[in-house]
Chain A
Amino acid sequence: MTTPLVGYLLVAALLFAVGLAGALTRRNAILVLIGIELMLNAANLNLIAFWRYGPHPEALTGMMFAIFSIAVAAAEAAVGLGLVIQIHRHAQTTDLDQMNRMKG
């Protein structure tokens, strides 16, 4: 295993930036959620990389954190997409630029 830690961290940072760009620039609500999933995945990669290269990998802290993060991300994706579906039913659109009023 000759890949230094810096490689993994840079990939994670790049993926995080891509996810953030997607969440901030796209018009559709679902793509914002896709961006959020990418960001969570990048954070997971960071966790696992630091776990592997850290001083005590047998304490399993990094992997546990990543597994809980996967579970929580799945739950949050489910609720978020349920909300998007309900908003679509109400407003007949998922365009975030048009949802700029609090009045229903």
Chain B
Amino acid sequence: MSFVFWLVAALTVAGGLAAVLLKNLVHCALALTVAFAGLAMLFLQLDAQFAGFAQILVYIGAVAILVVFAILLTRSSETPKGAGIFSRTWGAGLVIAAAVFAVIGWAVLQSGAGLPHETGVPSVSVQQIGNALMGRYVLPLEIVALLLTAALIGAVIVAMHEKDGAK
């Protein structure tokens, strides 16, 4: 396995771990941004350039900023309540996550010989993606457009300040 892959994979997993383990929420959000960047680099290694750049544009440019805004808008007092950052049932959560990883890892390693081998580099041009989006995948495209409009309106309505005296 190539050195670049190990480096980027280590960066991504470290970012993910930091995102769920750190105490300061903004540090968590920034570690999440690092994880997104690492994932974008993994996509680029897999010759999925469009998906990699879309990942940077959407996740780092929008979702990470959104998470940061939400953290800043929901800040209580800075001092911790003394109850710690992990919930009461953290043991069960950890066990479940470890079990899920064990099952998936076992499935992946078990089917080592049955996995497809590497083919040549696919020449994916953006024009092919455009044709696919407008041809074969036009129905998912329109549904995603509808979904995004609904999500936009819904997010605005959910997070809007209620009018005074409307209760």
Q: Which residues of B are found within 8 Å of A31, using beta-carbon distances?
A: 20, 25, 28
Select A34's contact among B19, B88, B122, B129, beta carbons within 8 Å. Answer: B19
Enumerate chain B residues within 8 angstroms of A5, measured Cβ to Cβ. 115-118
A53 B100 Cβ-Cβ under 8 A: no
Between A and B, 28 residue pairs with Cβ closer than 8 Å are A6-B109, A11-B12, A13-B105, A16-B101, A16-B104, A18-B16, A21-B98, A23-B93, A24-B89, A24-B90, A25-B20, A27-B84, A28-B25, A28-B85, A30-B25, A38-B32, A38-B35, A41-B36, A44-B55, A60-B128, A63-B129, A70-B55, A70-B58, A72-B144, A82-B159, A86-B158, A86-B159, A94-B76
A3 to B8, CA, bound (A): 13
Partner of B97, one of A17, A64, A92: A17
Work out how many contacts link A and B, with CB atoms closer than 8 A.
252
Bound-state CA distance A21–B98 (Å) is 8
Collect the chain A residues with CB atoms within 8 Å of residue B58's CB. Answer: 70-71, 74
CB 8 Å contact bits of A36-57 with B (1 = contact, 0 = none): 0110010011001111111101
The contact of B124 among A23, A57, A93, by CB within 8 Å, is A57
Residues of A within 8 A of B20 (CB): 18-19, 21-22, 25-26, 31, 34-35, 38
Q: Do A68 and B140 touch across chains, with their CB atoms under 8 A apart?
A: yes
Q: Which residues of B contact A (CB under 8 A)?
A: 1-2, 5, 9, 12-13, 16-17, 19-21, 25, 28-29, 32, 35-36, 39, 42-43, 45-48, 50-51, 54-55, 58-59, 62-63, 66-67, 69-71, 73-74, 76, 81, 83-90, 92-94, 96-98, 100-101, 104-105, 108-109, 112, 115-119, 121-124, 128-129, 132-133, 137, 140, 144, 147-148, 151-152, 154-156, 158-159
For A50, list chain B residues within 8 Å (CB).
116
Q: Are A66 and B1 in contact (CB under 8 A)?
A: no
Contact yes or no, A48 B112, CB < 8 A: no
Top 9 nearest A-B pairs by Cβ distance? A22-B20, A24-B93, A17-B101, A75-B151, A21-B97, A57-B122, A82-B159, A25-B93, A25-B90
CA of A50 to CA of B134 in the docked complex: distance in angstroms?
Answer: 23
Contact between chains at B93 and A52 (CB < 8 Å): no
Q: Is the CB of B67 within 8 A of A6?
A: no
